[in-house]
């Protein structure tokens, strides 16, 4: 439907609603029903539409900057807690652009909090940065073609979100400086999101205490936003370690006690119990230590579980069942269950109605990117390769119904994101931007294919336009922030209060993935993107776009 460039659509839309009578949203934006006190209506700032139009133009002019960030972080291909190159790269850009950066926050070497500006509102822009194991993939090639066999890669698309936020932040900062607008912009990374490993710690260490609104972005195949309870789950990620006794496995097996037996019996116990767990739960595990060699009875063995459910209480229940089964396995094998480790956690997500509505208005103004024939050819070839419906790329904004999505009614479970923890501490939304291809499995090489191509670049630019416009709305209309807090206090958290899933003794699991990255980093370095020599990463790799099976 939208065949004109996104920027033109945006300006046409802005021009159309520029008449003050038509753009006054305050009448329709009533305070939530459960409000304790009436909240001031939003007063339109006469500068808002003009400045938002300028911000869109500024973002459009920064598209090479955006593309270089998307491509660079793709090429680093770093796993959670080991995002060293990505961290350095982002911090350097932020500093160069006038941000003050606190590095290594919450005891996490690859986490930071960058700040620019002063006063209210304080707006915190976040997005994840880590990749997926085994997802190495040549971009722009519509079949499995690893760059490095077995290496990590951006098989979800977390290489694109910081480009969205930094582009928006820098564009808006320029306007705020010129117009002398009060307000503070923070930029922070969702470090180790694939391990849901950090955001609860950011909250615990007080990094969101003075934040007015958290604007999160996540890659998707749509330009969309939602409010209320989200589909999916929260989780706790727990490692169980058993200690037994070594012995010669053939010479004197009766002298040994096998920790691996305990791990296996725990898994068998859990899998029998699974039949009697609610259908909307999810649980899975990997054995992280299965012993040393067969002729030595394993003294130590560990298994790592994700317990997912749709509410905090039910996550705790699952966790309790896991602990009980682990104790049973230790008893059966006469081994000891060590103190458990929480390696990650996430609350179920709930997004703010007011911020989502504001974002949605801007999404409609920006519209979808204009996809080229080459973009569609890549998307359809990949969908064919995977046996998915050959639908190509999304053409209209919004969720599956093309609209702003409200609270999920029938939550059948699914994935998690530790943005959930932040969403229960400050008004938060996640903007999903269209840098990926519909119909993919997720956490897979296929999800990396578009992520350093024009699809990802255009999707990130569209996302940055929406972010920039929404920041300006929040800066210029303080009543929006008040309304967001009214919803947060009087609707969202009226009955449900945040309690962290991490325990006081838990610490970020910063050693995770160190060995894998150690193994692949020198090989990966050969493929780091060099924007000083190549316009795009595809050009550097010498890939014809798109490369599809004939
Ligand atoms: Zn993600």
Distance 306 CA to ligand 1 centre (A): 16
The pLDDT tens digits of the residues spanning 18-51 come to: 333 333 333 333 334 444 556 778 888 899 999 9
Distance 403 CA to ligand 1 centre (A): 22
Q: What are phi and psi of 360, to 5 degrees?
A: -60, -40
Distance 282 CA to ligand 1 centre (A): 17
pLDDT of residue 38: 66
pTM of the model: 0.92
3-class secondary-structure state, position 305: strand
pLDDT of residue 25: 34
Distance 128 CA to ligand 1 centre (A): 6
Q: At what angle do helices 259-273 and 312-333 cross, to 10 degrees?
A: 140
pLDDT of residue 134: 97
Lowest model confidence (mean pLDDT) among 208-212, 226-230, 397-401, 440-444:
397-401
The confidence band for 5, taking pLDDT boundaries of 50, 70 and 90, is very low
Distance 83 CA to ligand 1 centre (A): 15
pLDDT at 537 over 80: yes
Lowest model confidence (mean pLDDT) among 22-36, 100-114, 203-217, 387-401:
22-36
Distance 294 CA to ligand 1 centre (A): 38
**Position with higher pLDDT, 29 vs 345:** 345
Q: What are phi and psi of 120, to 5 degrees?
A: -95, 155
**CA gap 30, 495 in Å, rounded:** 21
Distance 248 CA to ligand 1 centre (A): 45
Average pLDDT over residues 182-196: 98
- Tell me which residue of 525, 511, 427 sits closest to 195, measured CA to CA: 511
pLDDT of residue 36: 52
Give the list of residues 6+ apart from residue 141 with CB closer than 8 angstroms, or none. Answer: 449, 543, 546, 547
pLDDT at 422 over 60: yes
pLDDT at 363 over 50: yes
3-state helix/strand/coil string of 355-397: HHHHHHHHHHHHCCCCCCHHHHHHHHHHHHHHCCCCCCCCCCC
Distance 475 CA to ligand 1 centre (A): 28
Distance 418 CA to ligand 1 centre (A): 10
The confidence band for 153, taking pLDDT boundaries of 50, 70 and 90, is very high
Distance 375 CA to ligand 1 centre (A): 22
pLDDT of residue 39: 76
The mean of the pLDDT values for the chain is 93
The pLDDT tens digits of the residues spanning 172-184 come to: 999 999 999 999 9
**CA gap 433, 419 in Å, rounded:** 16
pLDDT of residue 42: 85
Q: What are phi and psi of 268, to 5 degrees?
A: -65, -45
Distance 474 CA to ligand 1 centre (A): 25
The pLDDT tens digits of the residues spanning 66-116 come to: 999 999 999 999 999 999 999 999 999 999 999 999 999 999 999 999 999
Query: How many Å is the Cα radius of gyration of the chain?
Result: 24
Cβ atoms of residues 213 and 123 within 8 Å: yes
**51: enclosing H helix or E strand:** helix 48-61
Distance 385 CA to ligand 1 centre (A): 23
Distance 156 CA to ligand 1 centre (A): 6
Average pLDDT over residues 310-327: 98
pLDDT of residue 28: 35
The pLDDT tens digits of the residues spanning 482-502 come to: 999 999 999 999 999 999 999
Distance 348 CA to ligand 1 centre (A): 14
The confidence band for 304, taking pLDDT boundaries of 50, 70 and 90, is very high
Distance 103 CA to ligand 1 centre (A): 22
**CA gap 473, 455 in Å, rounded:** 27
Distance 18 CA to ligand 1 centre (A): 36
Distance 295 CA to ligand 1 centre (A): 41
The pLDDT tens digits of the residues spanning 136-152 come to: 999 999 999 999 999 99
Distance 77 CA to ligand 1 centre (A): 14
Distance 227 CA to ligand 1 centre (A): 18
Distance 322 CA to ligand 1 centre (A): 26
pLDDT above 70: percentage of residues in the chain: 93
Distance 355 CA to ligand 1 centre (A): 21
**CA gap 238, 304 in Å, rounded:** 6
Q: At what angle do helices 161-179 and 63-76 cross, to 10 degrees?
A: 140
pLDDT of residue 401: 82
Distance 539 CA to ligand 1 centre (A): 27
Cβ atoms of residues 282 and 308 within 8 Å: yes
Distance 193 CA to ligand 1 centre (A): 6
Distance 194 CA to ligand 1 centre (A): 7
Distance 465 CA to ligand 1 centre (A): 21
Distance 446 CA to ligand 1 centre (A): 15
Distance 431 CA to ligand 1 centre (A): 12
């Amino acid at each position: 439907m939208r065949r004109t460039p996104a920027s033109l659509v945006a300006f046409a839309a802005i021009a159309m609603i520029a008449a003050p009578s038509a753009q006054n949203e305050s009448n329709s934006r009533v305070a939530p029903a459960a409000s304790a006190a009436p909240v001031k209506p939003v007063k339109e700032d006469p500068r808002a539409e003009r400045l938002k139009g300028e911000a869109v133009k500024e973002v459009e002019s920064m598209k090479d900057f955006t593309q270089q960030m998307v491509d660079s972080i793709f090429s680093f291909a770093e796993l959670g807690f080991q995002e060293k190159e990505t961290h350095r790269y982002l911090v350097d850009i932020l500093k160069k652009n006038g941000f003050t950066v606190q590095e290594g926050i919450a005891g996490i070497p690859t986490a930071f909090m960058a700040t620019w500006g002063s006063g209210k509102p304080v707006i915190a822009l976040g997005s994840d940065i880590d990749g997926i194991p085994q997802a190495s993939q040549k971009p722009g090639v519509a079949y499995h073609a690893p760059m490095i066999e077995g290496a990590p890669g951006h098989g979800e698309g977390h290489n694109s979100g910081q480009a969205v936020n930094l582009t928006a932040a820098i564009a808006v900062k320029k306007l705020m400086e010129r117009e002398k607008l009060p307000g503070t912009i923070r930029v922070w990374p969702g470090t180790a999101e694939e391990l849901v490993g950090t955001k609860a710690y950011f909250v615990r260490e007080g990094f969101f205490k003075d934040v007015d609104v958290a604007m999160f972005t996540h890659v998707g195949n749509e330009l969309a936003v939602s409010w209320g309870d989200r589909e999916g789950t929260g989780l706790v990620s727990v490692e169980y370690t058993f200690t037994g006794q070594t012995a010669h496995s053939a010479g004197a097996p009766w002298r040994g006690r096998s920790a691996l037996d305990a791990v296996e019996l725990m898994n068998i116990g859990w899998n029998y119990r699974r039949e009697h767990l609610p259908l909307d739960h999810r649980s899975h595990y990997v054995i992280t230590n299965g012993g040393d060699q067969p002729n030595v009875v394993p003294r130590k063995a560990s298994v790592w579980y994700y317990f997912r459910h749709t509410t905090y209480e039910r996550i705790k229940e699952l966790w309790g069942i896991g602990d009980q089964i682990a104790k049973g396995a230790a008893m059966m094998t006469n081994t000891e269950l060590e103190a458990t480790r929480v390696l990650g956690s996430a609350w179920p997500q709930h997004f703010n109605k007011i911020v989502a509505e504001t974002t949605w208005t801007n999404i409609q103004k920006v519209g979808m990117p204009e996809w080229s024939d080459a973009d569609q050819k890549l998307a359809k070839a990949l969908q064919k390769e995977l046996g998915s419906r050959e639908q190509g790329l999304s053409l209209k904004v919004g969720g599956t119904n093309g609209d702003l999505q409200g609270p999920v009614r029938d939550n059948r479970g699914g994935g998690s994101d530790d943005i959930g923890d932040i969403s229960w501490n400050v008004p938060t939304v996640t903007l999903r931007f269209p840098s990926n291809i519909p119909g993919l499995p997720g956490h897979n090489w296929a999800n990396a294919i578009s992520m350093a191509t024009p699809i990802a670049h255009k999707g990130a630019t569209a996302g940055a336009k929406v972010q920039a416009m929404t920041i300006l709305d929040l800066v210029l209309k303080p009543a929006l922030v008040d309304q967001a807090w009214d919803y947060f206090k009087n609707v969202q958290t009226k009955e449900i209060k945040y309690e962290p899933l991490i325990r006081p003794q838990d610490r970020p699991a910063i050693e995770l993935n160190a060995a894998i990255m150690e193994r692949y980093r020198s090989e990966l370095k050969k493929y780091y993107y060099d924007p000083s020599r190549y316009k795009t990463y595809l050009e550097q790799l010498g890939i014809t776009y798109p490369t599809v099976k004939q």
